[in-house]
Homo-oligomer: A and B are copies of this chain.
Amino acid sequence: MSVEVKDISPVVISRLPRYYRYLGSLKDADVERISSKDLSDLMKVTASQIRQDFNLFGGFGQQGYGYNVSKLYEEIGKILGIDKIHDVIIIGAGHIGQALANYSNFENRGFKIVGIFDNDPNLIGTTIRDCKVLDASTVPDFLKDNNIDIAIITVPKNQAVAVADMLVHNNIKAIMNFAHVDLLVPDEVIVENVHLSDTLLKLSYRLRESIENV
């Protein structure tokens, strides 16, 4: 059975990583099947939402049996494009870049950090986890020699736009951007921004609102 990904709405897609995480934990705990009701209790979403979401890509559920955890996990992995390993590079070996290079969850999810780059002579040549920090000027050559779709940008704000330009010119297709600035890239390049202070702002907004409503 092949899944028609295009028919799945962005809202459902945004829920897939969380389903994938819960199913992965169940799989790790050797749970073979689970009912929408039990999954609902676990994830604190309604059983009807779970049934609706899973029906969209073929279901894998059976009345009185529940969902086959492994199959569902595998199928959602395919939809998410992680049925294969993605090689990833990090541009910026500062604190955030180092933290990400050390973040084992990325590799567990099929994202392998194969290169870390910086323009700081003090960082070039040092080793983070298994990766040597390379000179940022060698990124274009590295991209020519390796099959890499995804780059993570963790350089300071004032360098990020130029770095993104360079990556796009060297055929990077997707960017995870931690610099606190909006990148200017062609429409076909995929960008996900992680603006950490924006998240704190949302938190402080909700905090202010909750205090005023007391």
Residues of A within 8 A of B (CB): 5-6, 13-14, 16-18, 20-21, 43-44, 79-82, 86, 88, 95-96, 98-100, 102-103, 105-106, 108-111, 149-150, 173-174, 176, 180, 182, 188, 190, 192, 194-213
Tell which of B108, B174, B195 touches A203, judged by Cβ atoms closer than 8 Å. B174
Q: What are 22 A-B contacts defined by CB distance under 8 Å?
A: A5-B212, A16-B201, A16-B205, A20-B201, A21-B195, A80-B205, A81-B209, A82-B201, A95-B98, A103-B196, A106-B197, A106-B200, A109-B201, A110-B204, A111-B204, A150-B200, A174-B207, A176-B199, A190-B207, A194-B194, A194-B196, A194-B199
Residues of B near A180 (CB, < 8 A) are: 21, 105
Residues of B near A205 (CB, < 8 A) are: 13, 16, 79-81
CB distance from A177 to the nearest CB of B (A): 10
Residues of B near A150 (CB, < 8 A) are: 200, 203-204, 207
Closest to A78 in B: B208
Contact between chains at B13 and A204 (CB < 8 Å):
no
Q: A17-B197, A173-B207, A176-B199 are in contact. List 6 more A-B contacts (CB 8 A).
A: A5-B212, A79-B205, A81-B207, A95-B99, A109-B201, A173-B211
Closest to A190 in B: B206
CB distance from A60 to the nearest CB of B (A): 19
Known A-B contacts A109-B200, A203-B150; A208 and B173 likewise in contact (beta carbons under 8 Å): no
Most chain B beta carbons < 10 A, residue from A105, A150, A203, A213: A203
